[in-house]
């Protein structure tokens, strides 16, 4: 029972992280549009919270895989 809950939580965090990262990257890209040297959207500090969320989801997924 707890393994299925852990699976759902990890998938939910993963999807939230990917969708949030996509929206954040779009906002960054739209803000830098038209500039001669646009900054790298992947290395922007606003994205690290989404990267952390995705990393936590993958870690939970791995932990769940070990105990099944």
Q: pLDDT tens, position by position, for the chain (68 residues)? A: 578 888 899 999 999 999 999 999 999 888 888 888 777 888 888 899 999 999 999 999 999 888 76
CA distance 67 to 46: 34
Backbone φ and ψ for 43, nearest 5 degrees, come out as -95, 5
pLDDT at position 34 is 81
- For the chain, where are the alpha helices, taking DSSP H only? 2-31, 48-66
């Amino acid at each position: 029972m707890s393994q299925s809950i852990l699976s759902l939580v990890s998938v939910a965090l993963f999807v939230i992280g990917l969708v949030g990262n996509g929206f954040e990257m779009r906002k960054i890209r739209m803000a830098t549009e038209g500039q001669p040297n646009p900054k790298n959207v992947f290395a922007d500090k606003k994205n690290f919270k989404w990267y952390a969320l995705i990393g936590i989801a993958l870690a939970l997924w791995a932990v769940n895989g070990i105990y099944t």
